[in-house]
Structure 1
Amino acid sequence: MLYRNNPKNGDELSILGFGAMRLPMKEDMSIDEAKATEQLRYAIDNGVNYVDTAWPYHMGASEPFLASALADGYREKVRLATKLPTWLVNSREDMDRFLNAQLERLNTDHIDYYLIHGLNGGSWEKMKELGVTVFLDSAKADGRIINAGFSFHGNGKDFPVIVDDYDWDFCQIQYNYMDERNQAGTEGLEYAASKGLGVVIMEPLRGGNLASPVPPEVECIWNEAQTERSAAEWGLRWVWDHPEVTVVLSGMNELSQIKENLRIADEAEPNMLTESELQLVGNVESKYREMMKAGCTGCRYCMPCPASVDIPTCLETYNNLHMFKDEMSSKMMYAMRLAGVVSLDEPHFASQCVKCGECLERCPQDLPIPDLLEEVVRDLEGDDLDERVKMVKMMFFRE
């Protein structure tokens, strides 16, 4: 296992982190605790020392599971990360209440890496108004948390604002070769690192979509490589090639996945990919983009929309549906990202479009956005949208 230094505190963290959001499950959808414990302890025994969870993972069961899985001395071997559920916080007192509950659920007296969960510009402003910076200072002072950070799912322009608004120890961003210009992106990665923050990466394989199944058109490109590697290995190596990256989280739920990722993490040094290998990954990205139904670059010049449609996110989810052919996941992600449940605001669905045409005047790609939004409604909304929104609210304990 290779390790990288968190420049803010000197911690030596394993470049592979264990994400506890996609643990193996039984047929009744509960965590297969025996299997998950075996997998987690195997990863730790082989060098993983960063474990990440959150309040809502596995419908609230992830944190209590880790309390038992990290018994027998395993808690002392890892830096444990969990997150404050921002969408449930309505007061300064709520912050202490959730943190204290998490300490009890995790059976620990401190959280090594504590994150404010899923920030964007609006939710960060709300958290500041409620006193989150005072909360973090207090919790660090009394030892309940050791390092303070945030995870981010907002617009790129909001990311440096949040980085600069508090003396963070680390941050967590979505990053992979398809998301260099999405959310925080490469610019955000480099900005956070320039400020001395450790950077934890989530979704290095876009929820597994960049690993399997691989479209034949993409497989042909990977087969051109001089060194034979799986699509998952190429994706992970690409992220680890960036020296600004500290830890890459992987939601591993099969022992074969853990063993493959451990093998890669034994040798994935920064700047190891050759120019020809980087070009190969670039060719794969281009092929995926050719397969997109909408040529949206995520520049957000179309925003804000007078009808509150989040046009770039609608088109991104629509493209993912057609690139990766995973209808169930795409429809759930559409509801999760656009219902306003986690972002603490109003819905932003494509069906809210009133065809005012303002986006047409702003789009540098000259996309027929209102027509594309009609296709989004057809493919991603449907009669079951309300049920999916209810499921999202249940997942995040909003009703």
Structure 2
Amino acid sequence: MKIIRNQFGIGPKVSLFTLGTMRAIESKAQMYSVLKRACLIGINHIETAPIYGPAETFLGESLEKLNFEGIHPQGGWIITTKIIPNCPLAKGKKQIKGMLKRLGVEKIHNLAIHGLNLSTHLNWALNGDGYELFEWARDENLIEQVGFSSHGSYSLIQSAIESNHFNFCSLHLHLLDPERIPLAQKALEKGMGVMAISPADKGGHLHTPSQTLIDDCYPIAPIEIAYRFLLSQGVSTLTIGAQSCKDLDLTSKLINANDPLRPLEKVVISRIHSNAKRRLGNTFCGQCRECLPCPMNVPIPEILRLRNLAIGHELQSFSKERYNLIGKAGHWWETHNASSCQKCGDCLPRCPNNLLIPDLLEETHSELLDSPKRRLWE
């Protein structure tokens, strides 16, 4: 069977699914078995990072072993790894050399800024030490192309894409949160590669969906319809953070499934959204963002999005996890939760749906506030 490959920036073509290595770091044997399974089902693209603990080391050793056994994708493996923004030039050079050594390669296909989340990060990449670092790495033939992952604002990601400085981007793109799909499409129009990061976990804990979501998606599994939605939008590749070979079973089924949505899939997606709106009634937030800016810097759309998910799809566990990370994850997530709302009413006349936003924020805070859980780096 011929495996579909998508263009990814100016680099080699990649499979529709990318193996994320963050969850396969318990042992070298775990990394090896997952990597071998990924290869056998048609994956040729790997995503890793130094911040994923021993991931790069385990990956490099597993690649060496598989190559010795003659197991590798047609055309070879494509690797994306990442560098934290705002590092000084000398430190950045040292980090890139360390990546190459751990991975056991002479050249990195795709080097991404790991979390281009602030305007200072973008300035570092366009005008500061980051710019010099990437130029040096290209001149030394150590990297092929540069991109970024981002959890930042819509406007920041848009600026990064429009800078024409990057060849690919890794974004949070989800069936239940499609706000950034236009950004992905803009990037694709510019010839950039687009990788959807964590479409299952950060897309709503779709490995363990609520019964309500399961019923709304019937007869298709929530995670499958989520993957199909993104692939049908033309996204270059989706990351799969596999802990075991079993986690790649669905990937094997969908390895070539980038065709347009089928009639049943369209019906299911319409049902998902219409049922959620019905459950939320006149409290549904359409994510238009007209309520911003908030004088107290409350991220109103994000908080009401979590409310939409908790009530509309009964994804309370996911919504609680994300809500309780607010203020605890640095620049990776929001810094003010709903308790910062002073009920000034500044947002009320701007809401096209006439939502009682301060009351909804107060209710959401009461329902979702919980003890924070351990966070996996993304």
> TM-score band (shorter)?
0.7 to 0.9
List per-residue Cα deviations over 1:257-278 (Å, max 9, x = no partner): 312211221x41332x234532
Structure 1 position 170 matched with structure 2 position 168: yes
Q: Match of 2:18, as an amino acid?
A: G
- Secondary structure at the residue paired with 1:232? helix
Q: Which range moves more in the overlay, 127-136 or 363-372?
A: 127-136
Alpha-carbon offset, residue 49 of structure 1: 0.6
Letter in 2 for 1:53: T
| Change over 3 Å in CA distance of 1:119–1:260 after alignment to 2 | same
1:233 aligns with 2:228: no
Label 1:291 to 1:21 Cα distance change in 2 as closer, same or farther (>3 A).
farther
The separation in 2 between residues aligned to 1:107 and 1:315, in whole angstroms, is 46
Cα distance in structure 2, aligned partners of 1:114 and 1:133: 13
Question: d(CA) in 1 for partners of 2:139 and 2:307?
Answer: 45
- Secondary structure of the 1:71 match is helix
Among residues 135, 141, 152, which one is paired with 1:154 in the alignment?
152
Pairwise CA distance, 1:126: 4.5
Structure 2 counterpart of 1:375, from 355, 363, 366: 363
Q: Give 1:115's aligned residue.
A: 112
Change (3 A) 1:110 1:324: farther
User: Counterpart of 2:14 in 1: which secondary structure?
Assistant: strand
Question: Structure 1 length as normaliser, TM-score?
Answer: 0.80
Shift of the alpha carbon at 1:326?
5.0
4+ residue runs of structure 1 moved beyond 6 angstroms? none
Q: Do the aligned partners of residues 161 and 145 (structure 1) sit closer, same or farther apart at CA in structure 2, a change above 3 Å counting? A: same
Q: Does 1:100 align with 2:97?
A: yes
90 and 135 in structure 1: CA distance in 2 versus 1, 3 angstrom threshold = closer
Kindly provide the amino acid, as one letter, of the partner of residue 163 in structure 1. Answer: I
Distance 2:191 2:88 in 1: 30
The count of aligned residue pairs is 367
User: What letter is aligned with 2:15?
Assistant: S
Identical residues among aligned pairs (%): 25
Provide the residue aligned with 1:14 in structure 2. Answer: 15
**Alpha carbons of structure 1 residues 347 and 217: separation in structure 2 relative to 1, 3 Å:** closer
Tell me the equivalent position of 1:262.
Answer: 252
Matches within 5 A, 1:52-91: 52-57=47-52, 60-72=53-65, 73=67, 77-86=76-85, 89-91=86-88
Distance in 2, Cα, partners of 1:48 & 1:10: 16
Q: CA deviation at 1:18?
A: 0.6
| Deviation per residue, 1:271-305 (Å, 9 max, x gap) | 2x234532321222332444559522222222222
Aligned-pair distance for 1:205? 2.7
The corresponding residue for 2:185 is 190
Runs of at least 5 residues in structure 1 that lack an aligned partner in the other structure: 24-29
Match of 1:279 among 262, 267, 279: 267
Residue 253 of structure 2 aligns to a residue in which SS? helix
- What is the DSSP-based 3-state SS (H/G/I as helix, E as strand, rest coil) of the residue aligned with 1:301? coil
Work out the CA distance in 2 between the residues paired with 1:369 and 1:145: 48
Which is further off, 77-86 or 199-208? Answer: 199-208
Distance 1:332 1:109 in 2: 40
The whole-number CA distance in structure 2 between the counterparts of 1:371 and 1:192 is 37
Task: Name the residue aligned to 1:352.
Answer: 340
Q: Is the 8 A contact 1:133 1:166 kept in 2?
A: no
Query: What residue number does 2:137 align with?
Result: 139
CA contact (8 A) 1:122 1:343 kept: no
After superposition, the CA RMSD in angstroms is 3.0
For the structure 1 residues 285 and 96, does the alpha-carbon distance in structure 2 shift closer, same or farther, using more than 3 Å as the test?
Answer: farther
TM-score w.r.t. structure 2 length? 0.84
Measure the CA separation in 2 of the matches of 1:153 and 1:7.
Answer: 20
- Contact 2:232–2:259 (CA<8 Å) still a contact in 1? yes
Alignment CA distance shift 1:290-1:252 (3 Å): farther
> Which consecutive unaligned segments of at least 5 residues does structure 2 have?
none
Query: CA, structure 1 residues 341+210, in 2 after alignment: closer, same or farther (shift >3 Å)?
Result: closer
Distance 1:97 1:109 in 2: 14
